[in-house]
Every structure is written in structure tokens, then in C-alpha cells.
Structure 1
Amino acid sequence: MSKKAFIFPGQGSQYIGMGKSLYENYKIAKDIFDESSGILNFNLKDLIFNGDINELTKTENAQPAILIVSYSIFKVFSNEFEIKPNFLAGHSLGEISALTCSGSIPFHDALRLVRQRGLFMKEAAKSDIGIMKSIICEDKTVVENECESIRDLGEEVVISNYNSSKQIVISGTKKAVEMVADNVKDKVKKIINLEVSAPFHSPIMESASNKFGEELKKYNYKKGIYTVISNTDAKPYDNFQEIKDKLKNQIILPVQWNQSIEYLVKQGVTCFIEMGPKKVLTDMIKKSYPNMLALSCQDSNDMNKLKNILSKDMIKTKIAFISKCIKAAVSTKNSNFNSIEYKKGVTEPYKKIKRIEDTLEKEERRPNESEINEAIIMLKLIFKTKKVPIKEQMEYFNDIFDEISNKERFINIIQE
């Protein structure tokens, strides 16, 4: 498998019972759900598992609910699979999920932020004056031009989402959105009402954007461990200081999702894994890029397919770990010219590492924990015997450990 991107859905993916199986089967997910109710000071878990869909769909509830489920899926997935993403990307709300999973925003802060984001959006939407519709069309300019014509009449309606080359979303007042839909219905393939409670990513949300901008200033952010793509410009965050401005502006700007996926494809991403309820983003990518591998963590068939792919990929990855050990053993400078010590501390341990590599290649399997331990111990002995400086040793080990996702288990060996 080549480059991978984890993708996170936005509002509209919620449903009653989402995440319940995770809660019942994984302690880490149970802890996240239970912690969330304490952070928010109300039992959101009960609403998610047993509540009314209309109540869950309210933006102030849907946003934290989807974040909780997406974050739980990410944590469970990360524990179950030894796989690292090259990129993270999220659709609207999902961008905050992505930043949370990357480590730029602590989960407890992210949960409070999305709850407030939803409340601000609810206030800005006023008395149900706004709606959103998804439009499937061959030519988006038809819809763009119609939106412009309706705006010229003094109504509020905009393109709020560029989801794919053939799917866009319009957002605005109920009257304006219905006018656009009615005027283009014979020129497009399909029009779908969205299960959201406010006209997101439109000028109607300006007050919510301003209030959320002030809320964002109350929290601290840091550099994440994964590259996250921004909705506003379909480019990676250059630094964590951009988070406040980009998340503020995202509320009133169109979601550049299609452009984000195009960027990832140009970067060499060939596998997309959706971390969230339903598989809306997965289906979108499959339609736009039929040759790409798009999988949903909510689909058991997709997960079985992923397990098979990862099983083969892990073998290559872990053999690469052993190969790097061998390369380090032979490429480091030797400063020990005692032939007896060299034979015992370099030649013999090198042969042991090489035997592990030969065995793995012959049996077409990944090394077990004891084989990884032995390779590390042997390489450490080689370094010591060759009198390699400690700083240089650590540089080699850091590079070698990049090949495994559970490196914390083995770091203590080199520190002994």
C-alpha cells in the first residue's frame, strides 16, 4: 500500500446508535464516551445511543456527537492496526476531528469548541430560515450562475460545498435555496435535501463565524503529528498558528472538498480510510476515483479487505525494519580494531540479524516481537563494539523505529 489518508465526515452522517458497538467492545472508546458527558455536563451518550434523530440532528448536538464517534474510531483503529496515515482531512466539522486526531487540539478542548460552534450556528440560523440542498450535476456553473441570479434579487444563497466534480451543495435562506432548486431542476441530475439544521458555509453564518473566532482564542494549539488539509484552500496547514483563522473563516466559506481530494491524489495518496459514522465520503471518492481504494471503518467488508491488504503491507514494512538494522550495522564507522572483540561484537550479531531477514523473506511473514527485540539488541551490541558515538546511534535508531508504529514497546531496550 502506498500513501494513505484518513478522512473525517461532517454533519449529516449522524444516526441513532452510532458508535455503540465501539462503546461495548473497546475500553478506549467507552472511556471517550463517558469522559465526554462529563466535559459537556449533559448525557450526550444517551442521546447518541437511544435518543431522537431530530434532537441529534440539531447542530449543537450533531457536532460533538460526530466528533466523539470519529475520535473513538480513530483511537480504536490506531490500536488495532499498525498503520500511519500520510495525511488527515475532514469535511467541514471533520476538519476539527482531523486536527484533534493529529494532536493539534486536545480532545477535551475540541469537544467544547464544537459544542460552542454548534450553538453559535444555531443562533445565527435564527428561526429555521435556512436550509441546504445537495445537487448532482454535470456542469456546476449552471448552479453557480443561478445562485448569482437569485442573489441579484436580494436573496441569500451560495455554493457552500464542492464535494466532487459532479456534486455541489447550496446553502442559504429557505426561500432562496428553493428558488435555485426549482430553477435548475430540469438541468441537473438530482437534488437532495440535507439532514442539517442550519445553512452552513454561507454569509448567514457570519455572526457564528465571529463568535467562534473569539472562542478559538481561548484555547492553545500545537503542531500535530500528521499533515492536515484545510477546507478553505485545500492545502496543508503550514503551522498550528493558522488554526484559529482557518476554522473561523471555514464557517462562512465553501468547503473545498473536491479540491482537497485532488490535492491528496496529486501527492500520491491511493488509499482513503473514513473515520466516522456512515460512509458518505467513502462513496463520494469511489464515484470520483473508481481506481482508488476508499474504505469505511463502518463497513465490515471494507475492514476485512483492509486487514488482508495490511497483512501483506506489514510484512514488507517489518522486513524493511530488519533491513535498516543491517544497513546501519555495515554503514557505521568502526573504531575498534581488536579482531576478537570485532568478531564477537560485530560479525556474529550481524549474522544473527541477517538470519532473521532471510527467514522472514523465505516464510513471507512479519517478524514477531522476540525477533524485533533480538535485532535491536544485536544492533546495539554492534554499535557499542564499533564505538559509535551515542548521538549517532540514536539517529540511526530513530530512523529505524520510523518503520514500526508501536516503537514505544522497544525504545526501552536501547536505553538499558
Structure 2
Amino acid sequence: MRAFIFPGQGSQTVGMGKAMAEASRAARDVLEEVDEALGQKLSALMAEGPLDTLTLTENAQPAIMANAIATLRASGLDVAEKADFVAGHSLGEYSALCAAGAFDLATTARLLRLRGQAMQAAVPVGEGAMAALLGASLEVAQAVAEAAAQGQVCTVANDNDPSQVVISGHRTAIERALDIAKEKGARRAVLLPVSAPFHCPLMQPAADAMADALAGAALASPAVPVYANVTAAPAGQPDEIRELLVRQVTGMVRWRESVVALWEAGVTQYVELGGKVLGPMVKRIAPDATVISVVTPDDVDALVREI
């Protein structure tokens, strides 16, 4: 069995999508449609930068999705025919839903622009932070967050793989967690260069904004089940998907558990579209899995030959 998987924020790079658009009319069509939906030349920002503007949450989120869907459509592969499941990391869940036909491309782009804006606006700059705990299990990370909170918000945001967990919350709590993590046995604890504390209760205003936006967004049943971040389980009904996407804004990204669940469901091949971020995580979670990362036109050709 096979899953198509889609990367999240942090995978953006200047030049993304450029070679794919030059090689594929289908990829160009994706970027042009996203530009039109947003009323912005996002494709030019993706191709030329500058990086600090591309990295702004409101730009990075639709850009990463557009790159992933352009890569998929350049392949010409039918998701319903070639994938048994889809999944994505954080914003990548929207890419997965778009790939599976639950959202159309323009709707996905507009939702991610709003999501990025709402997440950035939820917490004043400088008040929140995130940190990666390396060489720490989920249980250790939860203990670190609990000890560091001291009346503030400090929670696990991303359970990425057995050796990498991300925490999120008030900046002073996260800074306390850096020292506590080392005391509890983490190999390293590093602040992440992010502009807001994603996937924690401080994001509630953004969750409220997404609840309103999703309530009015056209959403169909996906062609294949989508593994949801907050449950690490497949979802297929529109109302359920809406609810899970709202919960995802403040909830933990259960990526490690999602891959475990996919593996236990019989998925042995994982195809990452538009990035090389999730593939290494998958291998650390399921060492016997086959991972294909698809970034370049040559990768697309290899994927088509492979599957």
C-alpha cells in the first residue's frame, strides 16, 4: 500500500516550483491559478524571493501547498488510483486534502493565506516561541513542557519522530524549557526561527478564524482517506474534516503516530511531494518503509516510472 505525504512550514526555499513550472504545463497552471486566487504573484516570490518575505507565514503556507500540488500534477498521477491514503504535516494536511479532491486549488490557497495571517496575528511578535527537543521522546517532552509552564502555556506542538519533538508556548516558558530539557536527558534543545507559537492554546484566536472560514468553504469527501494530524487516524467525511482542521490549529501534530498508524494499516511506500523533510522522519519511525521524495522534474519522471 502507498501513501502520498505533504510537507509543512519550514520546507520553503527560494526557487521552489521554478524548474517544475518550466518543465510542465500542468505545474505552471497550478501556480497561475494560485496567483489568481490570491491576487498576488506568489509564483514570482517563490521563484525569486526574497527569502524573508517568502518565509512570512501568510506566504509560506500557500507557497508550500502550491509547490506540492504543482509537483503532483506534473506527474499526471491519479491520487485515487495510485495512493491508498494521503497525509500532511500541519499545513500539509490542506495540501493532502487538495490532492485528494476535498478542496479545490483556489479554496485551498485562500484558506492557507487566511490561516497564515490568523496564526501570525494570534500572538504579538516576541511573546511566543517554539523549540525543538532533539533526542527526546514524547514522554520526556511532555514532562519538560509541564515543568517549564509555571502558569504559562508550554505544550508539545509536534511529535515528529522518535528523536524530535517540538514544544510551543509563551517565550519565557520555552526558554525555561531549554535548560529543563537538558536536565531531563534531551540531547539538544534549540529555539526555532519562527514568528509565532504554532499548535498550542495561544493559537485559539486563529482556530476561531479558521472555524468561520471552513464553515463557508466548499468541501467534498476526499477520493482517499486523509490521516488527520490531531487524531493520527483516517478521516473522510466533510464535517469531520472541518472539525479536525479547526482543532489542528491549537492541537498537537501527531506525525509519528500517523506514520505508525499508516504502517500498521499496511502502507509500506511513502511518496513525499514537494519536499525532502518528511521522508527522513518516516525512516526514523518505520525503518523498513520505502520513501520516495519528489522535488525536481527528474524526480517526477522517476516516480512515474516507479509506480
- Shorter-chain TM-score: which interval? over 0.9
Tell whether the 8 Å contact from 1:57 to 1:196 is kept in structure 2 after alignment: no
Structure 2: gaps of 5 or more residues: none
In the other structure, the counterpart of 2:233 is: 235
Q: Cα distance 1:250–1:80, how it changes in 2: closer, same or farther (>3 A)?
A: closer
1:11-90 paired onto structure 2 within 5 Å: 11-79=9-77, 84-90=82-88
Select the residue among 111, 125, 147 that pairs with 1:113. 111
Matches of 1:22 and 1:305, distance apart in 2: 14
Rg: which structure is higher?
1
Tell whether the 8 Å contact from 2:259 to 2:286 is kept in structure 1 after alignment: no
Matches of 1:38 and 1:300, distance apart in 2: 24
CA-CA distance at 1:256 after TM superposition: 0.8
Q: Cα distance 1:230–1:139, how it changes in 2: closer, same or farther (>3 A)?
A: closer
CA-CA distance at 1:255 after TM superposition: 0.5
1:266-415 paired onto structure 2 within 5 Å: 266-277=264-275, 279-298=276-295, 306=303, 309-310=306-307
**Would you say 1:96 and 2:94 are equivalent positions?**
yes
**Would you say 1:162 and 2:159 are equivalent positions?**
yes
Write the deviation string for residues 8-42 of structure 1: whole angstroms up to 9, x where unpaired.
01101111111110111101111111222121112
Matches of 1:80 and 1:245, distance apart in 2: 27
In the other structure, the counterpart of 1:333 is: none
Matches of 1:222 and 1:144, distance apart in 2: 36
Matches of 1:131 and 1:290, distance apart in 2: 31
| Number of equivalenced pairs | 306
CA-CA distance at 1:305 after TM superposition: 6.2
Matches of 1:235 and 1:82, distance apart in 2: 18
Tell whether the 8 Å contact from 1:57 to 1:197 is kept in structure 2 after alignment: no
Tell whether the 8 Å contact from 2:181 to 2:189 is kept in structure 1 after alignment: no
Partner amino acid, structure 1, of 2:38: L
Matches of 1:296 and 1:31, distance apart in 2: 22
In the other structure, the counterpart of 1:144 is: 142
Structure 1: gaps of 5 or more residues: 311-416
Deviates more, 1:14-23 or 1:180-189: 180-189
Matches of 2:196 and 2:208, distance apart in 1: 16
Matches of 1:290 and 1:266, distance apart in 2: 13
Which structure exhibits the higher relative contact order, with contacts defined as CA atoms closer than 8 Å and separated by 6 or more residues? 2
Deviates more, 1:41-50 or 1:204-213: 41-50
CA-CA distance at 1:79 after TM superposition: 4.4
Partner amino acid, structure 1, of 2:205: S
Partner amino acid, structure 2, of 1:276: G
Partner amino acid, structure 2, of 1:168: V
In the other structure, the counterpart of 1:173 is: 170
- SS state of the match for residue 250, structure 2? coil
CA-CA distance at 1:53 after TM superposition: 1.3
Partner amino acid, structure 2, of 1:212: M
In terms of fraction of residues, the more strand-rich structure is: 2
Identity of aligned residues (%): 34
CA-CA distance at 1:276 after TM superposition: 1.8
Matches of 2:107 and 2:162, distance apart in 1: 35
Partner amino acid, structure 1, of 2:203: M
TM-score (norm 2): 0.93
Select the residue among 238, 241, 250 that pairs with 1:252. 250
CA-CA distance at 1:271 after TM superposition: 0.3
Tell whether the 8 Å contact from 1:58 to 1:196 is kept in structure 2 after alignment: no
Write the deviation string for residues 162-201 of structure 1: whole angstroms up to 9, x where unpaired.
1112221101122211110122135212334434321110
Write the deviation string for residues 254-285 of structure 1: whole angstroms up to 9, x where unpaired.
011111111100111000000123x1100111
TM-score (norm 1): 0.70
In terms of fraction of residues, the more helix-rich structure is: 1
Write the deviation string for residues 233-274 of structure 1: whole angstroms up to 9, x where unpaired.
011114122122111110000011111111100111000000
Partner amino acid, structure 2, of 1:40: L
